[in-house]
Structure 1
């Protein structure tokens, strides 16, 4: 569990609920079924129209990364690459074949298999970079789904407020309904702006950071695998790859 995300969610709820109570609106002022339908469902509808099905499914799949990002340990990966380099220098590249069964990451396993098969370093680089870039583009497009939601929701909040004020205008003859109607109208604006700035846009930024971090780690793996294929000194490999940790 990502602690900063959890703290941020708690603080967002405290800011929203606490602010409503301190301003005198109370908790009931934050609830409006009509605003929920207009803003939340409207935002979802707009997102579905603009997003391909595969991208939307990927977005739902990586949503959990906001709270539980994929575990990354760059130092451990470097140690593994250096160990493989030592094995390759002692036993040759075929000596790495037993290591394939110990690799869980599909990307790293594919790269190691290419090294074991004796592929040229440039061919290894081209193949793995194409796969890395393709995965990064797919994941980045999925992260931008939430960014799009964050763009649409404030506009839907304004639409909800306008619709609420239109309803208020129809009841001008009954002053007792004006205050409640105006308050309900502005609740939609809170939903739209709050959802965008306290949830959707931060989520998109967090996911983009995770995606970029994964791409950087895979770039490091590519460099390490190519160095092994070229028979470089393990100490030189470790020294060069350590730069990725910073």
Structure 2
């Protein structure tokens, strides 16, 4: 009998931002299964299912194409070594992507399909490093790495997150605090590269052809992250996890939330 551990979670990921005069809201939801292998130090298989955009399954042609390519990435098999992510099944994923790519090329054609295909393969299939960077952009992997560590107090814990509208990673320095009575781990941090973020805002102004001049007098930015994890025991065995990221500036206001909730598949009617 296998002693491998399995955990099932529902994910809700929301982004709401205002960049100059452009407003955008989006949310995705999906379910994941994490399988931790007993005979390895910390090897995990990640499956994803029931992916929805703004509450519905991908419906438009281009949504379906993008989803088909991304879905072929899973399952992802990885090791966690000293708090770092190490992809194990790169070759297997590449084989799946090649099969999916061939099938999609038979089904679709046109400039829109070509753009999605070329952009995805360039970002993902070049090498293992590119694939890892792409998986990191989902946010989920970064959060799982934090959860997988033993919950403990720390006065200096660094965390980074990709802010998609600006196309840049933001780094936070913060503190972890663990309440043994409630089994809750909290993390709060503040960004320490605000000048670099403002440069990205100015770059976005040029890209969006924003009519007004972006002045350095409006360069004040506040960036904060808060995260709370309610554990059952430790590591991947948790009930809920909530992450909130805020960036505030005269030109750019950003709110991102990432919520993970455990559920039991024996009590749920959805089948993978």
What TM-score comes out, normalization by structure 1 length?
Answer: 0.24
Choose between structure 1 and 2: higher helix proportion: 1
- Over alpha carbons, which structure has the higher Rg? 1
What TM-score comes out, normalization by structure 2 length?
Answer: 0.22
Where relative contact order (Cα < 8 A, 6+ residues apart) is larger, the structure is 1
